[in-house]
Structure 1
């Protein structure tokens, strides 16, 4: 199997059959070899730097009813909230003072935030923080709306495709949602000029190795600037409440694979990783990740943005716990940096 890892490092791609063979044939020893190669590649482009993103979960309203998500519209147990523009700007000010130079506005697909309101919000952040990157994670929109947000000052957009297999997508989502539309959104974002992020849930209900291989082939085709890979974690108020969570082991293995496939990618060690294991974030960095996303949201709202059960949002997951996070990264030989941490473009070489 080492030959497949070396081929992946050299050619940055595998066939569907090779992906299936590599994933199904993984062992602890093979994983360690993969992580060594992934770190080598990561260090070649980004050194030992770890970029920080300030996460602002600004609304937990959502018009969608995805079967795995704790803020799905049918969950009447969650207390809903929306942050005001001033509250969002206050989060940005707090983050800026702490050294954050990227703000991630993440929310459900909340139609109260019309394109006019979103555009005004983006402009306000851009005017006050001209040296910062603005990342949006607000779901599926039409191309002209994405263009307006880009023109207003947004730089990056995160939209996980979750699964590239249509039948599996149907199993996870209600009928009105479409995998093709989601993919179209990602291509539109790339065409407009965003730094684009996609990604998957590992171990989601009904997921097979074949689906993971198709996910990796789609990412290989899309060539995103950012990839988010985290384990599926069930939420008690969803149809998948009884399903098993995705594993740390497979999530880390896929992080290493993506680093070799997309050498310059920006890849977070996600909150979900540190939720399923206390050292999950460290292990993610050692598997090839190079981004962490501490929470800048008001403390009283963090527990309400409950995509899955037992989400970590305090301590080293919180922006105010940045000193703790810095110590954690130093323990494994890495360092937190305040740079915007833009993706390396295809023509750039060397360290970011």
Structure 2
């Protein structure tokens, strides 16, 4: 089969394992064909402008002990923090002043901040009229329902790796439970986001193919791929980083097969290579996340590494311009995917 045959099958939405594996390995001119097709699909699907969202990292406490993350609970070297409702709302005001339509509240898996989240959601809706996006980890269905009742619109919960044994080995928790959370979120009316990490220790090409197949099966409203970056104070701190090229190929695959989702252009791309986020947009991404967390807290939210790349507004705007794209000025209409018969 030729790359044109593979791309045609991908655009039909039901690619075989063999097609995905070939596309994951593309480089050179054929990789550029993949990226060109992703841009064409993005344009035809009407999602060719870049959505900005403003993230506030409200807590770096976490219950989990994932081997790739420095915010893991066993890390006694990390100074922990939680923002107050007043601090969060003051930052949301800055997001609104910059005409960014999405307030993105992110934290480690920290149930102790749930009361704070419940307090600020209705204020964000009432005072600023922003879309509320949450990324707070696994919670009981009742908590998700409460947040939705207060006005939360969408939720991100990445599956990270699709192999149950691999997931348990690096997180010491259950992938099935995480997928159940995604199911609950969709049933409660959230727009859902998920995604995978490329290059995790112990991962092989077959697992990456499984990751892509799981993402396509979930039919998410947001979907991302992030390259693994070795993080200090973790068991994986000396492991090699994930492949930028493979990550970009996966972004393009997601765009072509799923067509309309919002695809974040993660800051880890820029961490790996200067201009990496421009490459992400050229591979089909259409979201830039601007970090509004106050600097003293940014330095403690070690999601990638102590020296992570923090995206400011001017960097986001210049990256969009360098890719020949435009910023979406209004809040995006997230197309709700039909609830799959089975998740997981």
Q: Which TM-score band (shorter chain)? A: over 0.9
C-alpha change, 1:178 and 1:345, in structure 2 (3 Å) is closer
User: What is the TM-score of this pair, normalised by structure 2?
Assistant: 0.94
State how many pairs are aligned.
Answer: 335
* Distance apart, 1:205 and its partner CA: 0.8
* Distance apart, 1:334 and its partner CA: 0.6
User: What is the TM-score of this pair, normalised by structure 1?
Assistant: 0.92
- Give the 3-state SS of the residue equivalent to 1:256 in structure 2: helix
Equivalent residue for 1:344, pick from 325, 335, 340: 335
Q: Is the 8 A contact 2:47 2:260 kept in 1?
A: no
* Distance apart, 1:324 and its partner CA: 4.2
What is the rounded CA distance, in whole Å, between the counterparts of 1:196 and 1:47 in structure 2? 17
Please state if 1:172 is matched with 2:170.
yes
What is the rounded CA distance, in whole Å, between the counterparts of 2:213 and 2:48 in structure 1? 28
- Give the 3-state SS of the residue equivalent to 2:113 in structure 1: coil
Please state if 1:330 is matched with 2:329.
no
The aligned counterpart of 1:69 is 69
The aligned counterpart of 1:6 is 8
The aligned counterpart of 1:123 is 122
What is the rounded CA distance, in whole Å, between the counterparts of 1:221 and 1:279 in structure 2? 31
Cα RMSD, aligned residues only: 1.5
The aligned counterpart of 1:350 is none
- Give the 3-state SS of the residue equivalent to 1:70 in structure 2: coil
The aligned counterpart of 1:105 is 105
What is the rounded CA distance, in whole Å, between the counterparts of 1:110 and 1:138 in structure 2? 7
1:155-205 residue CA offsets vs partner (Å, 9 max, x unmatched): 00000000111121122112xx10000011111111111010000001111
* Distance apart, 1:216 and its partner CA: 1.4
C-alpha change, 1:324 and 1:268, in structure 2 (3 Å) is same
What is the rounded CA distance, in whole Å, between the counterparts of 1:230 and 1:324 in structure 2? 19
* Distance apart, 1:79 and its partner CA: 1.3
* Distance apart, 1:47 and its partner CA: 5.1
Q: Is the 8 A contact 1:171 1:206 kept in 2?
A: no
User: Which runs of structure 2 are paired with 1:156-305 in the superposition (5 Å)?
Assistant: 156-174=154-172, 177-305=173-301
The aligned counterpart of 1:86 is 86
The aligned counterpart of 2:18 is 17
Q: Is the 8 A contact 2:85 2:119 kept in 1?
A: no
Equivalent residue for 1:150, pick from 148, 151, 174: 148
Q: Provide structure 1 residue ranges, at least 5 long, that are not aligned to the other structure.
A: 348-352
Q: Is the 8 A contact 1:49 1:336 kept in 2?
A: yes
Q: Provide structure 2 residue ranges, at least 5 long, that are not aligned to the other structure.
A: 339-344
What is the rounded CA distance, in whole Å, between the counterparts of 1:187 and 1:104 in structure 2? 21
* Distance apart, 1:345 and its partner CA: 4.1
